[in-house]
Structure 1
Amino acid sequence: MMIRIKPLLKLYSVRGAQNPKSQIQNLHKIQAYSTVKPISETSGSLPLETDPNIVSPVQTIKSLENSTNPIEIKLKKQLRLLPPFPEQPTENMCCSSGCETCVWVIYEASLKDYSEKAEKLRTLLEKNSLPVPPTISKESIESHISKLELLKPIIEFQKFEKLLNSK
């Protein structure tokens, strides 16, 4: 598995962060959460993972911690196997050369992988009448997939435009 280092383009809001330096120092922790939003997009409300009305995967795991039921043990294992939500690449991360290791191809593959695993987990949670975290809800994942489908023609046009400019 190839790991890419993402450039720091925006400072992200972190609950409890007092200055930009502490935000940069905590960036490696922030990227693990799919619910952290750029400062420009925050509306003063609690981030998704700290909202008391929303159940997170961690809360679901904790609720199953002392369970001896084999089904709940399987659910706990599936929750831990769920990979972090893939982060969408920015325009300047792609070189537009059409390479096999394009960040958009990697993003699409990891989004499909996450979608498949989340669907299995969501089905298990629903069958056992347990709360489904919003990060694995069908609507949330489908919205990300539809955004990717909308971006594909734009990405192809940018590749074509770069090819024309290079000639």
Structure 2
Amino acid sequence: MKKFELTDAAMLLLIPLTMIGFSASIHTHNNDISTTKAAQVNKIGETIDTEYSGKSDLNKGSVRPLYFQASRVFSVKYRIVNFKTVLDEDYREEKLYRYVPGAKKNNRTYSWKKINGHTGKRVYVDKKAKAYYRDDDGERESEDFYRIRVSANKTATRYWVNEDAIDD
């Protein structure tokens, strides 16, 4: 009986040693196996891609990085409104935008100094936008933005702000 137990123990020890030796021989003798790099985690806010710009001269082309913001907005619905309101006391926590965030690739932001912003400043609202997006968990969310101007003149410069920037 002890002879069988000793044989079983030797076989159990031999199996892992065989696997290690076989694995080592694959990596040392076979040069056809390609190596892989560890996966890198992308930042959600920014992704880098490359673009090849070819020149007419031979071997003068170059590869340059392209930076772009990943947009989670999949739909924006606009509605015309017409009312006057004031900037909320927490308006500084928000930004002034040229377009609804996520609606355009190159959206410019402005400083509140541009419009001499302060709590209680009167603004004129002429449009409302509801932006639909997916959050990090994949759930659908929406956010409201308003297009404001600081002058009663309808041709004055307009900016988009989050609903939290104005007093409802």
| Band the TM-score falls in, shorter-chain normalisation | under 0.3
Higher CA-based Rg: 2
Q: Structure 2-normalised TM-score?
A: 0.24
Say which structure is richer in strand. 2
Say which structure is richer in helix. 1
Q: Structure 1-normalised TM-score?
A: 0.24
